[in-house]
C-alpha cells in the first residue's frame, strides 16, 4: 500500500513538472503586479503597438530627421510610457505634445506620461505650435544713449525692418554705421531701413568706426515729387541698397520715373534700370549721388 502511494505521488510530481516545462501552467505568462512586466515567457493573449506620427503643419516637404519608434508589444492594461519627440523638426514650429487625434481633439500626452494599453493599437500624433522670435538691439560699447526697442513678436519668415539709432547712441570719436549679428562686426550687417525675413530670434549690435564714412544722395534732377532720403553713414565696402523713386514725375514730355543713374544725363551706372535692375552697390571712397531719370508718356 505504501509503495503504491509513493508511486502515485511521483507520477503527480512528474506530470506537474512536465506541464510547467511545456508552458501549460495556468499562471505562466501572467502579468506580474509588482513590476508590471510579463513573466514566464511573455503574454499569452493579444498584444498592441504604439505608433508616433509627425503630423507636420503646412508643407510636409520641410520635415527633417525622424519620429520616435516604440518597438514594444503591449498587452491590455500594460503601462505605456510616452516617448519624447526625438529629432523631428518643422521650421517655425515647436513641438507641443502628443495626441490621439491628428487635429488635437483627442487625449493629450506629454513626453514621459504614462497610460494603460487598451484593446487596440494606439497612434499618437505630434501637436505643433508656431514659434515666435524677437529682435534685440545693443549699444555695443556706446558711451551714451539707448538702443532702439523692437516690441514686435515675429513668426517664422516674418518681415523685419531694421530700426535706426533712434535712442541717440554715441561713442566718442566713432561713427555709427549700422548693426551686425556679432559684437565684433564679423557677422551679418544690417543697414538701417533695410528689411529681411526672420527665422530665429536675433541680437543686433551697433557697429562703430573711427575711419571715414560716406553718404548717398538722391537727386530730383528736374522732376517733381519727394526723393528718398538715406541718412546712413557708410564705411567703404558696405552694401548700399538703392531705394525706389516712387511717385516721382519728370519735366515736360518725360513725366515718368524710370531709373537712377550716377550721371544726370542717364550715363554712368544705372540702378533699377532694365534689363539688369541693379538694386545695390558697394560703397567706395566717396559720396554718391544718384539722379532720377525719366521717360516720356
pLDDT tens for 181-236 read: 999 999 999 999 999 999 999 999 999 999 999 999 999 999 999 999 999 999 99
Strand partners, 72: none
pLDDT at 288 over 80: yes
pLDDT at 42 over 80: no
pLDDT of residue 63: 63
Other beta carbons less than 10 A from residue 234's beta carbon: 24
The closest alpha carbon to 128, from 87, 99, 100, belongs to 99
CATH class (in words) of the domain with range 212-297: mainly beta
pLDDT at 12 over 60: no
Greater confidence (262 vs 21) lies with: 262
Greater confidence (11 vs 139) lies with: 139
Section 68-81 average pLDDT: 97
Domains of the chain by residue range: 45-130, 133-203, 212-297
212-297 matches 45-130 in CATH topology: yes
| CATH code linked to domain 45-130 | 2.60.40
pLDDT of residue 211: 97
pLDDT of residue 24: 39
pLDDT of residue 58: 63
Section 152-166 average pLDDT: 96
With 0-12 CB in 10 A as exposed, 13-18 as middle and 19+ as buried, what is 52? buried
Greater confidence (58 vs 200) lies with: 200
Section 79-92 average pLDDT: 89
pLDDT of residue 3: 47
Q: What is the spatial distance between Cα 236 and Cα 212, in angstroms, rounded to a whole number?
A: 8
Give the distance from CA 247 to its chain's centroid. 37
CA angle centred on 119, ends 117 and 125, rounded to 5°: 60
Section 132-136 average pLDDT: 97
Section 246-257 average pLDDT: 91
**In which band, very low, low, confident or very high, does the pLDDT at 296 lie, cut at 50, 70 and 90?**
confident
Q: Report whether the peptide linkage leading into residue 19 is cis, meaning its omega lies within 30 degrees of zero.
A: no
The closest alpha carbon to 53, from 129, 127, 126, 128, belongs to 126
Cell of 64: 527633417
pLDDT of residue 41: 42
What is the pTM (predicted TM-score) of this model? 0.74
User: CA-CA-CA-CA torsion for 179, 182, 187, 190, nearest 10 degrees?
Assistant: -10
Greater confidence (289 vs 16) lies with: 289
Amino acid at each position: 500500500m505504501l509503495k503504491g502511494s509513493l508511486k502515485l505521488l511521483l507520477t503527480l510530481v512528474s506530470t506537474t513538472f512536465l506541464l510547467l516545462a511545456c508552458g501549460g501552467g495556468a499562471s505562466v505568462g501572467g502579468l506580474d503586479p509588482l513590476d508590471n512586466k510579463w513573466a514566464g515567457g511573455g503574454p499569452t493573449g493579444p498584444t498592441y503597438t504604439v505608433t508616433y506620427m509627425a503630423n507636420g503643419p503646412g508643407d510636409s516637404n520641410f520635415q527633417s530627421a525622424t519620429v520616435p519608434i516604440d518597438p514594444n508589444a503591449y498587452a491590455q492594461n500594460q503601462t505605456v510610457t510616452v516617448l519624447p519627440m526625438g529629432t523631428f523638426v518643422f521650421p517655425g514650429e515647436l513641438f507641443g505634445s502628443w495626441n490621439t487625434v491628428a487635429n488635437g481633439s483627442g487625449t493629450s500626452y506629454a513626453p514621459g506620461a504614462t497610460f494603460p494599453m487598451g484593446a487596440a493599437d494606439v497612434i499618437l500624433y505630434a501637436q505643433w505650435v508656431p514659434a515666435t522670435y524677437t529682435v534685440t538691439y545693443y549699444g555695443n560699447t556706446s558711451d551714451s544713449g539707448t538702443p532702439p526697442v523692437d516690441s514686435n513678436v515675429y513668426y517664422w519668415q516674418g518681415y523685419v525692418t531694421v530700426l535706426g539709432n533712434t535712442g541717440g547712441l554715441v561713442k566718442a570719436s566713432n561713427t555709427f554705421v549700422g548693426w551686425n549679428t556679432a559684437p565684433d562686426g564679423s557677422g551679418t550687417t544690417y543697414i538701417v531701413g533695410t528689411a529681411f525675413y526672420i527665422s530665429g530670434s536675433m541680437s543686433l549690435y551697433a557697429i562703430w568706426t573711427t575711419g571715414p564714412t560716406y553718404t548717398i544722395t538722391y537727386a530730383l534732377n528736374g522732376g517733381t515729387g519727394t526723393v528718398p532720403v538715406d541718412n546712413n553713414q557708410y564705411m567703404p565696402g558696405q552694401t548700399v541698397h538703392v531705394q525706389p523713386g516712387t511717385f516721382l514725375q519728370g519735366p515736360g514730355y518725360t513725366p515718368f520715373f524710370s531709373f537712377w543713374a550716377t550721371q544726370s544725363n542717364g550715363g554712368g551706372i544705372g540702378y533699377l534700370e532694365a534689363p539688369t535692375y541693379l538694386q545695390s552697390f558697394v560703397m567706395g571712397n566717396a559720396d554718391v549721388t544718384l539722379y532720377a531719370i525719366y521717360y516720356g508718356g
